[in-house]
A and B are shown apart, each in its own frame.
Chain A
Amino acid sequence: GNSVTQMEGPVTLSEEAFLTINCTYTATGYPSLFWYVQYPGEGLQLLLKATKADDKGSNKGFEATYRKETTSFHLEKGSVQVSDSAVYFCALSGGNTGFQKLVFGTGTRLLVSP
C-alpha cells in the first residue's frame, strides 16, 4: 500500500540555520505530495504542495521538489526562524490511495532556538 516515511525528530537548530527534513514515499500511480505544518496547540495547515514530477512547491521560504526518480519530497528552508518551531508532516494523495484520502508520515518536530 501507499506510505510516507519521514526522518525522526526532533530536529534542533539555531536561528538562521539551514533546514532539511527528509520525506520519501511509496505509491502506485502518480500521487500528489504535500507538506503540512502544525503549530503548538493548533490543527494542521497546508504549507506547500506539488502535483507532478519535478514540480517545486514553495511558501514562506520553504521549498520542496517532487523527485519521482528518488520518490522523495524533502522540505528545505535556507534560514529558519524561532517562529518556524512546529511539527511538519509529509503526506500524499492519489494513486492507490484514492483522490481524496491523505496518507501522512509520522511528523517531524522542529525546534529553533534564538
Chain B
Amino acid sequence: SQTIHQWPATLVQPVGSPLSLECTVEGTSNPNLYWYRQAAGRGLQLLFYSVGIGQISSEVPQNLSASRPQDRQFILSSKKLLLSDSGFYLCAWNKGKNIQYFGAGTRLSVL
C-alpha cells in the first residue's frame, strides 16, 4: 500500500533562518506531488505541485521554493524565513485518481 511521510512534525525557526521540509511517498511511482499551507484561521492554499522529477509549478508568489530531486521526494525550502511563513504545511500525492492523499503535516512557527 502507499504511504506518505512528512518531517519534521513541528519546527520552530527564527526569522531569517533557512527552511527545508521533506516529503516522501512510498508504494507508487511517478505520483503527482503537492505542497499546501494552512495559515492560522485560514483555509488551505496550494503552494506548489509537481508532475515529475524536476518539474515544479508555483501557484502563488512567495518566499518559498520547491524541488523534486527524486521521483517520490518533494522538498519545500526557503533561504530566509519570514514571520508570515508560519503555518501548517501539508504534502499530498495522487496518481490517476481524482483523490489526493495527505501527509500528517509540519507545524512551522517562525519567531
Min CB gap A40→B, angstroms:
11
Q: Which residues of A contact B108 (CB under 8 A)?
A: none
Which residue of A has the minimal Cβ distance to B98? A32
Closest 5 pairs (CB-CB, A-B): A106-B43, A43-B102, A104-B44, A44-B102, A43-B104
Q: Cβ of B109 < 8 Å from any Cβ of A?
A: no
Decide if A89 is an interface residue (CB 8 Å cutoff). Answer: yes
Neighbouring A residues of B100 by C-beta, 8 Å: 46, 102
**How many B residues touch A, CB cutoff 8 Å?**
23
Q: How far is the CB of B29 from chain A (nearest CB, A)?
A: 16
Pair A43/B98 contact, Cβ less than 8 Å:
no
Q: Mark B70-104, 1 if CB is under 8 A from A, else 0.
A: 00000000000000000000101010001111111
8 Å CB interface, A69-114 against B: 89, 93-94, 99-107
Q: Is B35 close to A, CB under 8 A? A: no
C-alpha gap A97/B32 in the complex (Å): 15
Pairs A–B under 8 Å by Cβ, sample size 14: A34-B99, A42-B105, A43-B90, A43-B104, A44-B90, A100-B49, A100-B94, A101-B46, A101-B49, A101-B59, A102-B44, A104-B36, A104-B43, A104-B45
Binding site for A on B (CB under 8 A): 6, 32, 36, 38, 42-46, 49, 51, 59, 90, 92, 94, 98-105
Q: For A36, list chain B residues within 8 Å (CB).
A: 102
**Count of A-B contacts with CB under 8 A?**
50
CB distance from A9 to the nearest CB of B (A): 11
Give the dominant DSSP class at B's interface: strand
Q: Which range holds the interface residue count of chain A?
A: 20 to 34
Which of B43, B51, B98 makes the CB contact (< 8 A) with A89?
B43
* A contacts, CB < 8 Å to B: 6, 32, 34, 36, 42-46, 49, 51, 89, 93-94, 99-107
Nearest residue (CB) in B for A91 is B44
* Complex Cα–Cα for A23 and B59 (A): 24
Complex formed: what's the CA distance from A102 to B36 in Å? 10
Q: Find out whether the CB atom of A51 lies under 8 angstroms from the CB atom of B43.
A: no
Q: Are A105 and B90 in contact (CB under 8 A)?
A: no
